Amino acid sequence: MISRPTLGEQRVRSEFNPSASGEVETLKQRTAELINIVEDLKHKDPRLAALAQTAYEEAAIWAVKLATA
């Protein structure tokens, strides 16, 4: 059975790592975990959850850029 990616994995595109970098994989995995945790808390305040998830995504972009520089 093929498992579906979590919301966090979808948002950080965890399967996309053309350099096969372990650092990139770790950054994306941990960011996906944080996004998923916030998704579980979304019922408390959807707006704050969306802001936090977007901030995590943006941080992951810059961290991946750093790891591949």
Length of the chain: 69
Q: What is the pLDDT of residues 34-43, one digit of tens each?
A: 999 999 999 9
pLDDT tens, position by position, 25-63: 999 999 999 999 999 999 999 999 999 999 999 999 999
- Give dist(CA 56, CA 60) in Å, integer: 6
- What is residue 44's DSSP assignment? G
Confidence of residue 13 (pLDDT cuts 50, 70, 90): very high
Give pTM, 2 decimals.
Answer: 0.91
For the chain, what are the domain ranges?
Answer: 44-69
Contact 5, 15 (CB under 8 A): yes
